[in-house]
Amino acid sequence: MTIDNNQRLFERARTVIPGGVNSPVRAFKAVGGTPRFITRAQGAYFWDANDQRYIDYIGSWGPMILGHGHPAVVEAVQKAVTEGFSYGAPTEREIELAEAILALVPSMEMVRLVSSGTEAAMSALRLARGATGRKHIIKFEGCYHGHADALLVKAGSGLATFGHPTSGGVPPEAVQHTIVLEYNNVAQLEEAFALHGNDMACLMIEAIAGNMNFVRATPEFARRCRELCTQHGALLVFDEVMTGFRVGLHGAQGVLGITPDLTVLGKVIGGGMPLAAFGGPRAIMEQLAPIGAVYQAGTLSGNPVATACGLATLTEIAKPGFYEALSAKTRTLVEGLKSAADAEGVPFSVASEGGMFGFFLFDELPQNYATVMTTDNARFNTLFHGLLDRGVYIAPALYEAGFVSAAHSDADIAATIEAARQIFKTLAAH
């Protein structure tokens, strides 16, 4: 019998790393089986410890929009590495990256660079509270904004009440100002503002949500978020860690035509290196230290290697036609999956924007988290493992979005659809 190197590494990892992984979803807990330990990646593929190749539809959960090992990015990173890893003093490249980001996201006049999406969302929240002098915040069920205490919260009982911690180690006091509402529910949103609008610091939202698979804010809901924030003097914060430079060159705000007050970015802006950012109007951003009273800092913030990687990535994605090609590719994938499912009579629905997509094992596209979570786990797991066995790696959880990169070829997409077709036959029979 051949040795399964993934299994061997997983057993070894579990003795030294909790659950064998450094971020929970990697552990395959929801889908069962052995996580694949990745040894290398190139273009649209990565390889596991058994040297099995996979077509990669997670792309490091979003950042790898150019595919793995893009030559221009590799060259920029290699050059940066020879100049030093980190200085703890400012560099010109940080200005260049800030300028590049601001040129593409018109709602932002200033930006601060940090190292993770969690840090960026947490800092944007502190800034919103500091700038408004208010405490309460709104978040939506199914949106993820990283693992800061105040944002790890599920809905309370009853409408527009304050939420409960979703994690051990978060005291109820840490979430006592967080109101959790149903996504796309305008009536709840209006009620929350009617009750608490005077002390509302901000509303934070994934305007195209990628942490409950793929769910769009309806145009009316997005518009009401903007209007109610303006009306009550609260800041509208778009968490675009996933959607920024992913659903289009100007993010979800560009797609929806809505201008938020603050924007949180991550993933693509680092091109696979630890880099994230938050930004907005000058008058708000200048309330941050060292000018203002809202403290925020980071040893590795604006890291010279990460900024080189981010800049090279932004240069490539800003080239004319990039998003048209990426969107077309993603549409070919989801439409192909849909046709294959239809042909076998398997209930299926799909959505995509730019290089981000979702699919559901039921006919109607869901509007909120509760509906997404009605997905039959066993059927999703059959699809997931069937694809994995055929060399296609999708997110190992039904509530995650998928990502297509510029490196995915027509042949990769055709092979993915063909692999899915075979599994749809099994699903149709059950």
Closer to ligand PMP at the Cβ: 116 or 253?
116
Please tell me whether residue 144 binds ligand PMP under the rule CB under 6 A.
yes
> Binding residue for ligand PMP (CB under 6 A) from 9, 105, 121, 137?
121
Please tell me whether residue 61 binds ligand PMP under the rule CB under 6 A.
yes
Site for ligand PMP in 258-297 (CB under 6 A): 266, 276
In three-state secondary structure terms, 330 is: helix
269 touches 102 (CB < 8 A): no
Stretch that binds ligand PMP, among 117-125, 315-323, 356-364, 373-381 (CB under 6 A): 117-125
Please tell me whether residue 146 binds ligand PMP under the rule CB under 6 A.
yes
Residue 44: alpha-carbon gap to chain centroid: 19
The pair phi, psi for residue 306, each rounded to 5°, is -65, -40
Closer to ligand PMP at the Cβ: 153 or 417?
153
Please tell me whether residue 145 binds ligand PMP under the rule CB under 6 A.
yes
Binding to ligand PMP by CB under 6 A, coded x per residue (else -) over 27-46, reads: --------------------
Please tell me whether residue 206 binds ligand PMP under the rule CB under 6 A.
yes
Six-digit token pair at 142?
Answer: 């199914």
Stretch that binds ligand PMP, among 12-20, 49-57, 124-132, 206-214 (CB under 6 A): 206-214
Residues with catalytic annotation?
144, 239, 267
As beta bridge partners, residue 68 has 43
Q: How many C-beta neighbours within 10 Å does residue 106 have?
A: 11
201 touches 128 (CB < 8 A): yes
Site for ligand PMP in 77-116 (CB under 6 A): 116
Please tell me whether residue 382 binds ligand PMP under the rule CB under 6 A.
no
Q: Taking CB positions, which residue lies at the least distance from ligand PMP? A: 117
Please tell me whether residue 358 binds ligand PMP under the rule CB under 6 A.
no
Listed in sequence order, the residues at least 6 apart from 153 whose beta carbon sits closer than 8 Å to its beta carbon are 139, 163, 164, 165, 166, 170, 175, 178, 180
Stretch that binds ligand PMP, among 41-49, 204-212, 284-292, 353-361 (CB under 6 A): 204-212
Q: What is the 3-state secondary structure (H, E, C) of 170-195?
A: CCHHHHCCEEEECCCCHHHHHHHHHH
Q: How many C-beta neighbours within 10 Å does residue 117 have?
A: 29
> Binding residue for ligand PMP (CB under 6 A) from 105, 203, 241, 361?
241
> Binding residue for ligand PMP (CB under 6 A) from 9, 98, 242, 288?
242
Please tell me whether residue 348 binds ligand PMP under the rule CB under 6 A.
no
Closer to ligand PMP at the Cβ: 208 or 340?
208
128 touches 169 (CB < 8 A): no
Listed in sequence order, the residues at least 6 apart from 132 whose beta carbon sits closer than 8 Å to its beta carbon are 200, 201, 202, 233, 234, 235
H or E stretch at 215: strand 215-216
Please tell me whether residue 123 binds ligand PMP under the rule CB under 6 A.
no
Query: DSSP label at 24?
Result: G
How far apart are the C-alpha atoms of 197 and 14, rounded to whole Å?
47
Closer to ligand PMP at the Cβ: 48 or 239?
239
Q: Which residues bind ligand PMP (CB under 6 A)?
A: 61, 116-118, 121, 144-146, 206, 210-211, 239, 241-242, 266, 276
